[in-house]
């Protein structure tokens, strides 16, 4: 990463003034406070999980609710919320979701070796909160996708420092709450980190198995939730799904061809992610772009697939902006985000139930942008001053700390 006076990166990595931090605090505080005022239950999606926990405490099965799409471990994790007063939940949940997103951004910055006190740290998170509509959607819904948005950057940060077993545990813990990060297991397969992969699988398996034994319907996730996830047969949910498999039938394409097209695109995305990993260039971009490719490929075919799922990968991609060759320096990366600008009305797409078309455009454009990163020649994305590790599948990916920006007079 260039930090000279003539490069914008040098300006970005210098310490932020209190004005930038005040602006960030105002944006995040307004979002959390607005949600607390508007959502007495902490958000519609969080309320589903809390209601499942209360159902279990009353002796019922959480999987009686078809919209409860979580593993059994999430029921026990939501029990503390079920015991809290409603007035506490309406404040605690949006603050917790916002904190998860902020910590995920911090982990993404440290993965790239960028200072947490930098201008880029403050401006980047402000841009995500104020300029990317799904950020606000996630906070207002209180969706547990926030745990995945924290766990994936943390996983890659640990993996980038050679702590693959801890990285597997971080992903496994997130999967135990919500199986959104399951595709990341392929990253461990690509890296041949079998022990870490075993930890990733074992953590949610043990947590879910132990929790299932305490439920009146231990196999409820397999017999009720899994078929729903595979088929997505819900008229209300389908209106908000962004995957091509859900959007194309709304445009008149028969469902079988639409699902076949989405599956083909997802398979191509996984292949590109593998090619990106095989390129084995130094620096953090290899980890980020491989994992982002895997997750975006899954979003292309998964049911359901919502706009806020993009927050799992977008902060990781955006944090690579100061690095030459990163996906965030491609024009299509920024064009993909245009449909997500808050407050921008698109003709015939003003209705909230039609925003899935905009979300699908963003998802597909980001998937193609990241997939194209596998075509770049090896070494093209190495930051200035980066060290080249041994190019092997078993090599530990070194942590790269860019040189400090020179101090200039104010």
pLDDT at 376 over 80: no
pLDDT at 314 over 90: yes
**Confidence band, pLDDT 50/70/90 cuts, at residue 383:** very low
**Confidence band, pLDDT 50/70/90 cuts, at residue 50:** very high
**C-alpha to C-alpha distance for 246 and 305, rounded to whole angstroms:** 9
**Confidence band, pLDDT 50/70/90 cuts, at residue 39:** confident
Residue 25: predicted pLDDT: 97
Radius of gyration of the chain (CA): 21
Residue 201: predicted pLDDT: 97
Residue 349: predicted pLDDT: 84
Q: 125 to each of 25, 105, 131, 351, 370, how far by Cα in Å?
A: 10, 7, 10, 28, 21
With left for phi above 0 and alpha for psi between -120 and 50, is residue 142 left, alpha or beta? left
pLDDT at 45 over 50: yes
Residue 406: predicted pLDDT: 37
**C-alpha to C-alpha distance for 163 and 198, rounded to whole angstroms:** 14
pLDDT at 177 over 80: yes
| Residue 224: alpha-carbon gap to chain centroid | 25
Average pLDDT over residues 131-135: 96
**DSSP 8-state secondary structure symbol assigned to residue 78:** T
pLDDT digits (tens, 9 = 90+) for 81-125: 999 998 899 999 999 999 999 999 999 999 999 999 999 999 999
**Confidence band, pLDDT 50/70/90 cuts, at residue 19:** very high
211 token code pair: 């929790």
> Taking the model in full, what pTM does it have?
0.89
**Confidence band, pLDDT 50/70/90 cuts, at residue 41:** confident
Three-state SS string over 312-334 comes to: HCHHHHHCCCCCCCCHHHCHHHH
Question: Across the chain, what does the average pLDDT equal?
Answer: 87
Average pLDDT over residues 233-257: 85
Burial class (CB in 10 A: 0-12, 13-18, 19+), 354: middle
pLDDT digits (tens, 9 = 90+) for 73-88: 999 999 999 999 988 9
**Confidence band, pLDDT 50/70/90 cuts, at residue 373:** very high
pLDDT at 399 over 50: no
**C-alpha to C-alpha distance for 366 and 269, rounded to whole angstroms:** 11
Minimum mean pLDDT among 8-12, 108-112, 339-343: which range? 8-12
Task: Considering only residues 385 and 195, tell me which one the structure prediction assigns the higher pLDDT.
Answer: 195
pLDDT at 386 over 80: no
Average pLDDT over residues 203-207: 96
**C-alpha to C-alpha distance for 49 and 45, rounded to whole angstroms:** 7
Beta bridge partners of 15: 118
Burial class (CB in 10 A: 0-12, 13-18, 19+), 280: middle
pLDDT at 364 over 50: yes
Nearest CA to 226 out of 74, 55, 45, 68 is that of: 68
**C-alpha to C-alpha distance for 381 and 378, rounded to whole angstroms:** 8
Residue 408: predicted pLDDT: 33
């Amino acid at each position: 990463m260039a930090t000279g006076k003539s490069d914008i990166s040098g300006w970005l990595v210098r310490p932020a003034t209190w004005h930038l931090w005040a602006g960030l605090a105002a944006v995040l505080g307004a979002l959390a406070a607005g949600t607390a005022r508007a959502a007495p239950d902490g958000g519609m999606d969080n309320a589903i999980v809390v209601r499942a926990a209360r159902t279990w405490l009353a002796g019922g099965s959480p999987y009686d609710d078809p919209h409860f799409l979580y593993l059994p471990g999430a029921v026990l994790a939501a029990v503390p919320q079920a015991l809290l007063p409603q007035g506490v939940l309406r404040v605690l949940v949006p603050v917790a979701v916002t904190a998860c997103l902020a910590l995920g951004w911090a982990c993404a910055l440290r993965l790239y070796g960028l200072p947490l006190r930098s201008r880029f740290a403050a401006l980047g998170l402000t841009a995500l909160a104020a300029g990317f509509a799904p950020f606000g959607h996630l906070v207002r819904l209180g969706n547990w996708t926030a745990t995945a948005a924290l766990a994936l950057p943390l996983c890659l940060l640990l993996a980038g420092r050679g702590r693959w077993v801890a990285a597997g545990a971080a992903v496994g813990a997130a999967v135990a709450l919500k199986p959104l990060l399951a595709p990341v297991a392929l990253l461990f397969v690509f890296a041949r980190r079998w022990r870490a992969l075993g930890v990733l699988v074992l953590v949610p398996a043990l947590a879910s198995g132990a929790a299932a034994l305490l439920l009146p319907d231990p196999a409820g996730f397999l017999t009720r939730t899994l078929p729903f996830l595979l088929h997505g047969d819900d008229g209300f949910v389908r209106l908000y799904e962004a995957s091509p498999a859900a959007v194309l039938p709304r445009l008149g394409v028969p469902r079988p061809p639409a699902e076949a097209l989405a599956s083909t695109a997802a398979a191509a995305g996984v292949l590109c992610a593998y090619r990106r990993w095989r390129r084995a260039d130094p620096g953090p971009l290899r980890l980020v772009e491989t994992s982002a490719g895997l997750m975006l490929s899954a979003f292309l075919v998964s049911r359901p697939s919502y706009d806020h799922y993009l927050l799992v990968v977008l902060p990781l991609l955006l944090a690579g902006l100061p690095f030459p060759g990163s996906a965030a320096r491609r024009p299509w990366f920024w064009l993909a985000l245009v449909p997500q600008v808050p407050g921008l009305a698109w003709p015939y797409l003003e209705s909230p139930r039609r925003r899935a078309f905009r979300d699908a455009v963003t998802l597909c454009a980001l998937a193609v942008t990241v997939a194209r990163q596998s075509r770049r020649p090896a070494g093209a994305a190495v930051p200035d001053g980066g060290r080249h590790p041994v190019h092997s599948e078993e090599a530990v990916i070194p942590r790269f700390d860019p040189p400090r920006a020179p101090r200039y007079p104010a």
